[in-house]
C-alpha cells in the first residue's frame, strides 16, 4: 500500500537500524542503536490517493456505465449527466469509458491516483528524459 502522509509524491518512511549498530554523525557524536529507535527518515516516492477505488470504478463502468455512474463516481458530473441522458451514447460511450477506466487512462477528476490493492494491477508510465541512460545498439 501507499505510505502515509504522501505530499508532493514523496513520503518520509522511518528507518530502524539493526541492534548494536554504532553510527557517527557529522558533528562526531556516536549513537549506538538498540533496534527500536528511528535512525533516520528515508524519502520514498509515492502516489497521492484521495479515496477513489480502482475496483469500484471498473465495476461501476461495467455494470452502470450506461447510466453514467462511473463518471459521477470519478468526479465528472457533466459527463455523467450526458451519459445518463443519452443512455451511455447508445452503449458506445459506455464501452469506450470501460476501456479507458480499466486501462487507467481516465482517473479521478482531482488528479489523484486510484487506491489499488497491494497485489492488484498498477500502471507505471515509463518516460525517456535527458537523464535516461540509452545503451547504443551495436550492429554485427
pTM: 0.63
pLDDT in tens for each of the 140 residues of the chain? 667 778 888 888 888 888 888 888 888 888 888 888 888 888 988 877 888 999 999 999 999 999 999 999 999 999 999 999 999 999 999 999 999 999 989 999 998 888 877 655 566 677 778 777 767 777 76
Burial class (CB in 10 A: 0-12, 13-18, 19+), 34: exposed
Q: Tell me the pairing of strands 49-53 and 113-115.
A: parallel
C-alpha cell at 27: 558533528
CB contact at 8 A, 65 and 88: yes
What backbone torsions phi and psi does residue 11 show, to the nearest 5 degrees?
-125, 145
User: What pLDDT sits at residue 90?
Assistant: 93
Burial 99-115 (b: 16+ CB within 10 A, else e): eebeebebbbeeebbbb
User: What pLDDT sits at residue 94?
Assistant: 94
Q: First-to-last CA distance in the chain?
A: 46
CA–CA dist 66, 79 (Å, integer): 12
Amino acid at each position: 500500500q501507499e505510505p502515509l502522509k504522501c505530499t508532493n509524491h514523496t513520503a518520509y518512511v522511518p528507518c530502524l537500524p539493526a541492534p548494536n549498530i554504532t553510527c557517527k554523525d557529522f558533528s562526531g557524536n556516536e549513537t549506538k542503536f538498540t533496534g527500536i529507535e528511528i535512525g533516520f527518515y528515508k524519502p520514498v516516492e509515492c502516489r497521492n490517493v484521495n479515496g477513489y477505488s480502482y475496483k469500484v470504478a471498473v465495476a461501476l463502468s461495467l455494470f452502470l456505465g450506461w447510466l453514467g455512474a462511473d463518471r459521477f463516481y470519478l468526479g465528472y458530473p457533466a459527463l455523467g449527466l450526458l451519459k445518463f441522458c443519452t443512455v451511455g451514447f447508445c452503449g458506445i460511450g459506455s464501452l469506450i469509458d470501460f476501456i479507458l477506466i480499466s486501462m487507467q487512462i481516465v482517473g479521478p477528476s482531482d488528479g489523484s491516483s486510484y487506491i489499488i490493492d497491494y497485489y492488484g494491477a498498477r500502471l507505471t508510465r515509463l518516460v525517456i528524459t535527458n537523464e535516461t541512460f540509452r545503451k547504443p545498439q551495436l550492429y554485427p
